[in-house]
């Protein structure tokens, strides 16, 4: 039996991305229905607010929201810092133009600098977190102004890697992309008509010049997604190594996954009763 298993593993290629293939029309239809159900029926809103970074995730989210709610009911908000690239602003503008959605641009430089002026020694990581949280303050405030629901844009890969600012990027109450790996986001974005210049450019948090997600990770998205998909199916690191994945890549991905588990949950509550919220007290949808 062991010999047969080894033969099957030799037939498997770690470069095979079949596990990540999606049916774009089906997924798009499901996500549009999801947005209508969550925003309109469950929460009673008619509009959505989306922070437009110029990247593929926020662009795809805007495209999905426009189809679900109508372009006139989606507000795109650009929130640049003084070091943000001109390209990011231009690409966000492409989305606004392509969809015909209302938009506004709010420069966060003064707000961020006003706080950091009291701590000039703050490193890049802290500054990036302040920017991300400032953007979420603005997004929620604009949602109150427009009587619209903030919609999140984080994909499954960055959520599993913990590549987001806690209580910032992952804060909006509805997220259509949270169960799509980055490579699946690219496929769906192309199907939805997101401009190719946005889909094909290197993903970046745009905090410093030349920064890319994959540079920060130390691994390409396609390679990380294939490993994550297998780990989530329950395969052990040793089994993945037997299948042909590089042990160093497995260790990198597994380490990221394990060390950021806490970021994917609400605060840990000390349970004192049988009605502890989110532990025992659940609505039917929570099950």
- What is the rounded CA–CA span in Å between residue 138 and residue 158? 22
Q: Domains in the chain and their CATH numbers?
A: 15-214 (3.40.50.620)
Pairwise CA distance, residues 22 & 126, whole Å: 37
Q: Which residues contact 183 (CB under 8 A, 6 or more apart)?
A: 17, 20, 157, 221, 222, 225
Q: In angstroms, rounded to a whole number, what is the distance separating the alpha carbons of residues 197 and 183? A: 16
- Strand pairing class (74-78; 103-105): parallel
Beta partners for 76? 50, 103
pTM metric for this prediction: 0.90
pLDDT digits (tens, 9 = 90+) for 175-187: 999 999 999 999 9
Tens digits of residue pLDDT in 49-102 = 999 999 999 999 999 999 999 999 999 999 999 999 999 999 999 999 999 999
Query: Residue 2 — pLDDT band, cuts 50, 70, 90?
Result: very low
Do residues 265 and 239 make contact, with C-beta atoms less than 8 angstroms apart? no
């Amino acid at each position: 039996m062991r010999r047969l298993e080894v033969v099957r593993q030799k037939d498997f290629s770690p470069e095979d991305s079949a596990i990540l293939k999606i049916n774009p029309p089906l997924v798009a239809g499901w996500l549009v229905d999801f947005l209508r159900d969550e925003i309109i029926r469950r929460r009673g809103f008619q509009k959505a607010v989306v922070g437009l970074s110029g990247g593929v995730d926020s662009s795809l989210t805007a495209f999905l929201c426009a189809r679900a709610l109508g372009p006139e009911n989606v507000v795109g908000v650009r929130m640049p810092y003084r070091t943000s690239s001109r390209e990011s602003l231009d690409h966000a503008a492409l989305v606004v133009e392509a969809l015909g959605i209302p938009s506004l641009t709010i420069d966060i430089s003064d707000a961020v600098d006003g706080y950091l002026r009291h701590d000039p020694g703050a490193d890049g990581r802290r500054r990036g977190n302040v920017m991300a949280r400032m953007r979420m303050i603005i997004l929620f405030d604009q949602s109150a102004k427009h009587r619209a629901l903030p919609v999140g844009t984080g994909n499954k890969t960055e959520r599993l890697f913990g590549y987001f600012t806690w209580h910032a990027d992952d804060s909006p109450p509805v997220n259509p992309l949270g169960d799509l790996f980055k490579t699946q986001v690219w496929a769906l974005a192309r199907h939805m008509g997101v401009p190719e210049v946005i889909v094909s450019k290197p993903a970046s948090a745009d905090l410093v010049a030349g920064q890319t997600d994959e540079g920060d990770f130390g691994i390409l998205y396609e390679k990380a997604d294939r490993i994550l998909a297998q780990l989530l199916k329950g395969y052990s690191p040793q089994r993945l190594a037997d299948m042909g994945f590089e042990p160093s890549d497995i260790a990198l991905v597994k380490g990221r996954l394990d060390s950021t588990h806490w970021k994917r949950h609400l605060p840990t509550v000390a349970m004192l009763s049988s009605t502890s919220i989110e532990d025992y007290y659940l609505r039917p949808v929570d099950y």
